[in-house]
């Protein structure tokens, strides 16, 4: 099958109650769903990518510095995958590909497009946080690169409920994505 799973920014800083830029309860509520779907992909030997923000301490040139508090700083606990996803990654690190991204989109500063095309991937499944930021920008880039997009509603959340709902609609109505209902 020509599909891959992309889990974007499901890290301690974005999900844990005390995370530096947390979406809190909505993000925490995704844990079982994300872990279950990730396990399915691993068991079926389908490609799984975890793609996470990587920031440096006091980088004055990164545009997010003016918009958000410091988060996902290299070498901190906040960069670890959240909860049971961390455990699953540790157990299956040979089967799950970790990538660091430099901006909102999973395609920014990575070789994700090359990795997907080399595997013959034409359909990407998206999960993670935040729906209206990193998931949205990843979906837009995927659309522009010609991928078929599937967003798992039970696997995405945001700290902005209105932005979350808007993004779900945008995925379907503007990007032609399939949104799998909860």
**pLDDT at position 29:** 97
Looking up tokens 């034409």 gives 122
Q: Is the pLDDT of residue 10 over 90?
A: yes
Which residues make beta-bridge pairs with 123? 3, 148
Residue 74's pLDDT is 84
CA distances from 96 to 80, 85, 87, 131, 134 (A): 14, 11, 12, 22, 20
Residue 1 pLDDT greater than 70, yes or no:
no
pLDDT classification of 161: cutoffs 50, 70, 90: very high
Specify which residues 55 forms β-bridges with: 73
Instruction: Please count the helices (runs of H) and the strands (runs of E) in the chain.
Output: 7, 6
Token digits of residue 36 = 């279950």
- The residue ranges of every structural domain in the chain are 3-180
Mean pLDDT of 128-134: 97
Tens digit of each residue's pLDDT (9 = 90 or more) over 144-154: 999 999 999 99
* Interacting residues of 158 by C-beta distance below 8 A, sequence separation 6+: 23, 26, 129, 130, 131, 132, 133, 164, 167
Mean pLDDT, residues 54-59 taken together:
76
Q: Give residue 57's pLDDT.
A: 76
CA distance 71 to 35: 23
Percent of the chain with pLDDT strictly greater than 70: 98
* pLDDT mean over 111-135: 98
Task: Using alpha carbons, select from 164, 103, 107, 115 the residue that is nearest to residue 138.
Answer: 107
Q: Measure the CA–CA gap between 115 and 131, rounded to whole angstroms.
A: 23
Domain 3-180 annotated CATH 3.40.50.850 = yes
Per residue in 73-119, pLDDT (tens digit) is 888 998 999 999 999 999 999 999 999 998 999 999 999 999 999 99
* Mean pLDDT, range 4-28, rounded to an integer: 95
User: Quick one: tokens of 120?
Assistant: 């013959």
Rounded CA separation 39/36 (Å) = 5
63: pLDDT strictly greater than 90: no
Q: What is the mean pLDDT of residues 8-30?
A: 95
Residue labelled with tokens 């099958």: 1
SS3 content of the chain, % helix, strand, coil (to 5): 40, 25, 40
pLDDT value, residue 61: 73
Owner of token pair 């399939």: 178
Torsion of CA 158, 161, 166, 168, to 10 degrees: 50
């Amino acid at each position: 099958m020509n599909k891959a799973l992309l889990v974007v920014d499901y890290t301690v800083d974005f999900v844990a109650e005390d995370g530096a830029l947390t979406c809190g309860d909505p993000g925490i509520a995704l844990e079982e769903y994300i872990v279950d779907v990730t396990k399915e992909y691993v068991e079926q030997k389908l490609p799984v990518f975890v793609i996470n923000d990587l920031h440096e301490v006091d980088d004055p040139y990164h545009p997010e510095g003016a918009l958000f508090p410091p988060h996902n700083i290299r070498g901190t606990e906040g960069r670890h995958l959240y909860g049971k996803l961390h455990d699953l990654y540790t157990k299956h690190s040979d089967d799950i590909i970790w990538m660091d991204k430099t901006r909102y989109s999973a395609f920014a500063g990575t070789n994700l497009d090359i990795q997907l095309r080399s595997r013959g991937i034409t359909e990407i499944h998206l999960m993670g946080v935040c729906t209206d930021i990193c998931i949205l920008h990843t979906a837009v880039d995927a659309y522009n690169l010609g991928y078929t997009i599937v967003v798992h509603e039970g696997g995405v959340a945001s700290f902005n409920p209105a932005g979350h709902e808007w993004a779900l609609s945008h995925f379907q109505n503007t990007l032609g994505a399939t949104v799998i209902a909860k």
